[in-house]
Structure 1
Amino acid sequence: MKLITIFLIAVSLAMDAFAVSISNGVCTRGFGKKDAVRQAAFFGGFQFIMPVIGWFLGCSVKTYIEAVDHWIAFLLLLIIGGNMIYGSIKGGEDDNSCSTSLTNKMLFLQAIATSIDALAVGISFAILDVNILEAGIIIGVVSFVISCLGAYAGKYLGDKLQSKAEIIGGVVLILIGTKILLEHTLLGVG
């Protein structure tokens, strides 16, 4: 497989992480460079490791993973997004800024949810006999960079939309999960 093809796959896989990064940048009070890098490290790390795991799993579990990956991603993003919306509504009218903290647990769950498709791609790479170390590094680095860009875009938007940022972020996560679910169940994508 050509490097340009792997790069385009990497960009495609990073789009969910990009959208979640925007949401985190919007909704995290005091979001800064350290948060952006930590978030990008989670997303890039999982985008690296999931195709590697998928590659090792190989063809034997391909059908099983493809059957449930969209449900796992949907449920994780629904829970995270729902909690963000609930926290914003429960926070009271006096709170004009997001109260979401960017915990390692939250980043871990988001990283899993946004990298499930990379696991399936890794299985495909095993079938196609792709150099998984090279592909994994490209996917991880691209996801890291795109996640940083998304985080800064979200931070900018968060400064402009403080009062509604957490609700917007939660809705974005739920919409991403719904998009993944619909693509896999109705459109047969993935």
Structure 2
Amino acid sequence: MNLASTIFLAFAMSTDAFAAAVGKGASLHKSRIAEALRTGVIFGIIEAITPLVGWAVGRSAAQYVTAWDHWIAFGLLFLLGARMIREGFGQPEHGHEKPDSHSFWVLAATGFATSIDAMAVGAGLAFIDVDIFSTAATIGIATMLMVTIGVMVGRLVGATIGKRAEIIGGVVLIGVGSAILVEHLGFMR
């Protein structure tokens, strides 16, 4: 796999993380660049690790990873999205404002859910001659950049649509999960 293909793959792998990051940024009070970078780093590290895990698993049992990856991604994204929608429709607590940041665990769960497909890609890369470490690093860096930008875009969107941003973010996460499921089930071929 050449450098151009690796870079294209990396940015293609990070589009769902970008969409999730827009929702995360929209649900924050006023996301600062430091929070956007923190979110980007968390997503990027997870997105870099999952193809390595997939590659290792692919060496021994690729059919098990690729057979269930889309269902796992859909389930996680659906649950996270449903939670955001529920919170978006909930009554705001008196004196309760949007958070300035998301917890590490919420970001890690979202990052993992959007990186399941990278694990499957890693499993597929186990069967071709590719430097998995540089490919995984490229995927991680691209994801970090896309997520950082996504959080800041979400900040702009969130300022204009207020509380509905969480609802929209949840719908986006469910949409990303559904798109992954539909693509893997072959409805889009």
Q: Does TM, normalized by the shorter one, top 0.5?
A: yes
CA contact (8 A) 1:17 1:147 kept: yes
2:19 corresponding residue in structure 1? 19
Distance 2:95 2:11 in 1: 37
- State the alpha-carbon separation in 2 of the partners of residues 173 and 83 from structure 1: 10
Contact 2:30 2:100 in 1 (8 A): no
Equivalences for residues 1-190 of structure 1 within 5 A: 1-92=1-92, 98=98, 102-187=102-187
Letter in 2 for 1:148: T
Instruction: Report the 3-state secondary structure (helix = DSSP H, G, I; strand = E; otherwise coil) of the residue aligned with 1:152.
Output: helix
For residue 16 of structure 1, report the CA deviation from its aligned partner: 0.5
Q: Work out whether residues 39 and 147 of structure 2, in 8 Å CA contact, stay in contact via their aligned partners in 1.
A: yes
Contact 1:84 1:100 in 2 (8 A): no
Cα distance change of structure 1 residues 4 and 103 upon mapping to structure 2, 3 Å threshold: same
Checking the alignment, whether the CA contact within 8 Å between 1:97 and 1:165 is kept in structure 2 is no
1:187 maps to a residue whose letter is F
Report the aligned-residue RMSD.
Answer: 2.1
Structure 1 runs not aligned, ≥5 long: none
Distance in 1 between residues matched to 2:172 and 2:161, nearest whole Å: 14
Unaligned runs of 5+ in 2: none
After TM superposition, give the deviation of residue 188 of structure 1 in Å: 6.8
CA change 1:88–1:99 in 2 (3 A) is farther
> How far apart are 1:103 and its partner, in Å?
1.1
For normalisation by structure 1, the TM-score amounts to: 0.91
State the identity %. Answer: 35
CA contact (8 A) 1:88 1:98 kept: no
Whether the aligned pair in 2 keeps the contact of 1:52 and 1:119 (CA below 8 Å) is yes
Aligned-residue offset at 1:129: 2.0
Inter-partner Cα distance in structure 2 for 1:95 and 1:86: 19
Q: Please list every run of at least 4 consecutive aligned residues from structure 1 whose deviation after the TM superposition is greater than 6 angstroms.
A: 93-97
Q: Deviations over 1:130-162 (max 9, x none)?
A: 111111111111111111111111111111111
Measured in 2, the distance between the counterparts of 1:173 and 1:151 equals: 14
What secondary structure does 2:130 align onto?
coil
